[in-house]
Chain A
């Protein structure tokens, strides 16, 4: 009986020990090491590059206890002896541990071999070729501190909208509630303005990184870094672009001056532009209108400006013959400018009475609605001549093919490389790339304007020489030119 009791007790102890051993202890991981911050150059002072050495526990060989790194940030700098108080910090970003990222990546690669190389190692080399340093860009730092207030304002505005459509409260109640919320919104807006001013004045920050285990236990390394993003006055990365631009400006002005002094330059004929006169004449003979499509881009696009310049020249020719000119515009601002340009062209050739204002009109700013509208005009009005000049997108073929089907003579010009083949296929003449920009000068036949075309040609010649020189130097093992050209930012 006694031995039975001893056995029972021993079994109980064993069971207890087994239960005790099987209870998982929370894994406390080691924190990160060596946090450093570098300024992100040539931005508006809102980005930095954060680097930190990985936690020693961030490795697959140790069962990968680190799951995340949480990057915490606070406004102001910590004093030298000041200890980190986690409650003062806010999380700006969290990233998966490199070990987990690696295992996920190998899984992804098993499924899809096309996973790009750049996603493979989002961390830097450290000692002995082992990748143990994480490097990432913290951007929009100002916005990070503004976001909570902006989100609150957006939420309160949403509540106002909800009150407006609510049916279960009286009108008076609605009004008073909406008034209260608006008062809050105004208060928050003031707060936002003050904070924005403060951040613009001073953006001193402190950053720390916390390693977190799979169980969610966070380890503060008690390392932190204070920093203040800098704003550089001049972007030295673009110095080469600046020098080339200045050189081109000087070249253009020299050629312009030479033309002014009487020097004549030969300008190569462009078939599409030589045909403009013939195209307008054809419309006059047939008694049908000319349709001018100025592209689907805004006024800030240079292609649109070039298109407006061409419209001015074409409008003059059309006005002389008193042929109707239809101009459906895509953008409201472009419409206003185009209308004035056409009106002035009619006045300029002494035919103000022939100007029909209702023919220069705004159509729509929706891409395919515009294409449908223009196609409708083509089918109904049967224009004898159609110009497509400016920036075009996927609708280019829809419009030019319809123009082809109605039997119009079509002249297109665009710098959208992807649309050029469509225009070549369906139009009679196509101005490729830079010819669009040359068109206005070519049509005006003014020597001073034509001189700028010569400057463009010399610019292209310089590029060609640069390419050939680069190839020769590269073959000779001199890489200086290639390095300079490769450093030009996009």
Chain B
């Protein structure tokens, strides 16, 4: 019963939703898509958020109670969360100074100020760290240890030069040296053109090949779940 009911629901809804993309009537768009898929998902999300926050609090309380390594960060997390929940939900929207509100989530509220001036810059910092990570990863993968790595190094070098203004400058300079000669050897230095070729032909072909496999995998996974062949998502095997 614990398994057969969810499996039956999945089978029935799976078959219905298999036909949804091929139908355009109002019942499909308004009821099957909007009401069931979008609205119900939101309702489920609300319940899931309560469970999620509970789990987050439980984990951090556990770490504080047992004084697990670096448990001080758990205090930061819990205090931060309690503060944001309090100012956004429980405090009244009374003015605080000239252009600030104490409660609520509107523009100019304490919640909004903390979000814009603390969380957003911190996220931007994390994102900007990516540049350094890319440099370190690129260094590791571009070492010419074998033929494939050497090919990768050369290709990446061409694409990088083709993507920066320097590539165009080199090409223009070489075109000047080449002059009006009938043999246009300067085309070897057309990094932008070569880059575009690499991206449009070999790169696009590889991406599409992966794409075909992904789509097949997606359909197969959906069917496995629909027909109850794959039951791992329910937990256990039986």
Question: Which residues of chain A have a CB within 8 Å of any CB of chain B?
Answer: 42-45, 161, 164-165, 167, 200, 231-235, 238-239, 241-242, 245, 248-249, 252-253, 256, 300, 302, 305-306, 308-310, 312-313, 329, 332-333, 335-337, 339-345, 347-348, 357-363, 366-369, 371-372, 376, 380, 394-395, 397-398, 401, 415, 417, 420, 422, 424-426, 432-438, 440-441, 444, 448-449, 452-453, 455-456, 459-460, 463
Contact = CB atoms under 8 A, between A and B. Distances in A.
Contact of A306 (B37, B127, B217): B217
B213 A434 contact: yes
B24 A313 contact: no
Interface in B180-233: 207, 210-214, 216-225, 227, 229-230, 232-233
B221 A437 contact: yes
Interface of B: 18, 21-26, 29-30, 37, 41, 44-45, 48-49, 51-53, 55-56, 58-59, 62, 69-70, 73, 93-95, 101, 106, 119, 122-124, 126-127, 129-130, 133-134, 136-138, 140-141, 207, 210-214, 216-225, 227, 229-230, 232-238
B48 A256 contact: no
11 contacts: A200-B30, A238-B21, A245-B219, A248-B216, A333-B44, A335-B52, A344-B235, A362-B55, A397-B130, A437-B214, A437-B221
Contacts of B236: 312, 344-345, 347-348
Contacts, number: 223
Contact of A368 (B30, B127, B229): B127
A337 B6 CA distance: 13
Contacts of B235: 312, 340-345, 347-348
Given A332-B48, A341-B232, A367-B123, A42 B221 contact: no
Contacts of B48: 332-333, 335-336
A456 B137 contact: no
Given A361-B55, A362-B55, A444 B232 contact: yes
Main SS at interface, chain A: helix
A369 B119 contact: yes
B59 A200 contact: no
A348 B237 contact: yes
B165 to A, nearest CB: 15
Contact of A397 (B45, B134, B213): B134
A343 B207 CA distance: 37
B23 A366 contact: no
A366 B119 CA distance: 10
B220 A455 contact: yes
B51 A335 contact: yes
A452 B52 contact: no
A431 to B, nearest CB: 10
Given A341-B233, A401-B133, A425-B137, A432 B224 contact: no
B68 to A, nearest CB: 9
Nearest to B68: A380
B78 to A, nearest CB: 13
Contact of B207 (A200, A242, A417, A463): A417
Contacts of A253: 227
Nearest to B129: A398
Contact of B62 (A242, A341, A358, A401): A358
Contacts of B220: 252, 437, 452-453, 455-456, 459
Contacts of A232: 24-25
Contacts of B29: 44
A167 B49 CA distance: 35
Nearest to A301: B218
A348 to B, nearest CB: 4
B93 A463 contact: no
B4 to A, nearest CB: 15
Contacts of A231: 24-26
B130 A398 contact: yes
B24 A437 contact: no
A422 B212 contact: no
A165 B94 contact: yes
Count chain A CB atoms within 10 A of each CB in B25, B124, B213, B217 and give the residue with the most. Answer: B217
A397 B137 contact: yes
A398 B214 contact: no
Contacts of A401: 133, 136-137
Contacts of A417: 207, 210-211, 214
B133 A397 contact: yes
Contact of B59 (A361, A369, A398): A361
A361 B48 CA distance: 12
Contacts of A434: 210, 213-214, 216-217
Nearest to B93: A165
A252 B223 contact: yes
A242 to B, nearest CB: 5
Contact of B216 (A242, A335, A460): A460
Contacts of A164: 93
Contact of B233 (A305, A357, A376, A448): A305
B232 A460 contact: no
Contacts of A398: 126, 129-130, 133
B55 A433 contact: no
